[in-house]
Amino acid sequence: GQQLNQSPQSMFIQEGEDVSMNCTSSSIFNTWLWYKQDPGEGPVLLIALYKAGELTSNGRLTAQFGITRKDSFLNISASIPSDVGIYFCAGRLLTSGTYKYIFGTGTRLKVLA
């Protein structure tokens, strides 16, 4: 099935460090979304991107919609312990009049205090 390539798969970083992760696809999307999942919970939306080249921030998080529309990037600045979790990218496409969301395989982030 169609899935997005997300990297890295996992990261161990020190508190205060910056984090970068990305998502690539062979397909073009008109919307990119970034989600965070805490243990035992469902994914929660962090940032939504709607235009190629768009750069959007949410606090310490910044995401970009790639110019080719086939990739997206998420940066977390000055990481803190509560940033731990799994981060998913999702691309949205229109199929038969309905939006479908294709998810990446996730980046598992662990922050060492």
> Which residues of this protein are in contact with another protein, per CB under 8 A?
1-4, 6, 9, 31, 33, 35, 40-45, 48, 50, 88, 90, 92, 96-101, 103-106
Give min distance, CB of 70 to another protein, in A: 17
Beta-bridge mates of residue 5: 24
Lookup: tokens for 70: 């086939």
Q: Would you say 77 or 105 has its CB closer to another protein?
A: 105
Q: How far is the CB of 20 from another protein (least distance, A)?
A: 19
Of the pair 39, 113, the CB lying nearest another protein is at 39
* Backbone conformation region of residue 40, classed left if phi is above 0, alpha if psi is from -120 to 50, else beta: left
Closest CA to 60 of 47, 50, 44: 47
Query: Closest approach of Cβ 95 to another protein, in Å?
Result: 9
**Phi and psi based region of residue 38 (left: phi greater than 0; alpha: psi -120 to 50; beta: remaining):** beta
Q: Report the residue number, 32 or 73, with the smaller CB distance to another protein.
A: 32
